[in-house]
Amino acid sequence: PEKVTWRRVLDTNDRFLRKITVGQNPTEKGMERVTGFDIAVASEIMAVLALTTSLADMRERLGRMVVATDRSGNPVTTDDLGVGGALTVMMKDTIHPTLMQTLEGTPVLVHAGPFANIAHGNSSIVADQIALRAVGNDGYVVTEAGFGADIGMEKFCNIKCRYSGIDPDCAVIVATVRALKMHGGGPPVVAGKPLDHAYKSENVELASRGTCNLVRHIENARGFGIPVVVALNRFATDTEAELAAVKAAALAAGASDCVVCEHHAKGGAGAADLGNAVARVCEEARKGPSTFKFTYPVEQSLKEKIEAIATKIYGASGVSYSALAEEKIALFTKQGFGNLPICMAKTQYSFSHDVTLKGAPVGFTLPVNDVRCSAGAGFIYPLIGDMPTIPGLPTRPAYYEIDIDLETGKVLGLS
């Protein structure tokens, strides 16, 4: 039973489910094993939904998901267990995206939800295909790649684009003066606590020091051969001097444009300049052949691909592997999965594995503590540092503030 690798998922924060023992009831006849839960958005089935290109492709991907290793060291798939067809029947309606709209009537396709710090973090290929068909050759489709150019965008390019065959014409990197001040050495930002005065008063030097983080994101995006537009979201407390410093740094780093955006205050009109800038950059990109490129060829070894991401995208000087990670890499290579792309499970709070390393750290060693295989989705997924695959509640959860007014029935403490 210890060779069973399939993990259950749950859409609830519960740190006690990270490592559990199952099969203890006498009716399970000694099939006791240590396992754990993942958050639902880290489910391989979720990743399959996001990366599938058709119902037939979904059926194939669901059928080749690996759930265990047999006594001879061979992978055991869902098709081996005879459940691939039933899985597809359960998932058949999920392949259709949900059509919604923005407050101003722009159509939006909402489809799939893999987290970028654990899974690959992109909306579905099917939604992109439908949207591109709908807008025609002269239209524009905005698609999501969550959590920065080191995680979401890296996986968008190295995983999603490999399977979709679609190259982006432009990357939009969203930045704020406040976030860059944090990366420049500003005070810690703690959820639920008032924002420090440093983030609400002018400090051009602090913002400028933090632009090294934005510069790294721009360099990463341009490393894929994609032109960049920076969307600089404006807060009411941002000053013209701070915005000018960030814009200057972005343009110096090679961004095609950096546009101050006020759509939170003004709606679509507040992002019109951003839309025009993106359209201009896309039109320019379409005039010539695509310059898009991957970080690594899939033919490289698993370690070579992991190290390419660590050094070229994160800024690491090297990678260390635990004994467990070494064992898993050898097993997956032997099983024939060595040619899959890499999906790093890493914190979104730093380019490194250490959440305290802000800015653009270099020279660190990236620790790979475990490696998992998502053969159906089509990637190998290393766990970096102490990255959990199911979140836990904070020291003081929000439920302490929630109650009900017994006279009016009004819920208290939700805002």
Separation of alpha carbons 169 and 281, rounded Å: 8
Kindly report, residue by residue over 290-335, the tens digit of the pLDDT: 999 999 999 999 999 999 999 999 999 999 999 999 999 999 999 9
What is the three-class DSSP state of 181? helix
362/357 Cα distance (integer angstroms): 10
Number of CB atoms found within 10 A of residue 254's CB: 13
Q: What is the mean pLDDT of the chain?
A: 95
**Partners of 237 in the β-ladder:** none
Residue 91's pLDDT is 96
| Angle at which helices 84-91 and 44-51 cross, to 10° | 70
The answer, yes or no, to whether residue 415 has pLDDT greater than 80, is no
What residues pair up with 76 in beta bridges, in sequence order? 68
Q: For 87-105, write each residue's pLDDT tens digit.
A: 999 999 999 999 999 999 9
191 has pLDDT over 80: no
Q: Is the pLDDT of residue 39 over 80?
A: yes
pLDDT tens for residues 63-85? 999 999 999 999 999 999 999 99
pLDDT single digits (tens) 326-384: 999 999 999 999 999 999 999 999 999 999 999 999 999 999 999 999 999 999 999 99
C-alpha to C-alpha distances, 407 to 10, 404, 410, 411, 413, nearest whole angstrom: 35, 9, 8, 11, 16
Burial class (CB in 10 A: 0-12, 13-18, 19+), 331: middle
Taking a C-beta distance cutoff of 8 angstroms, is the pair 352, 309 a contact? no
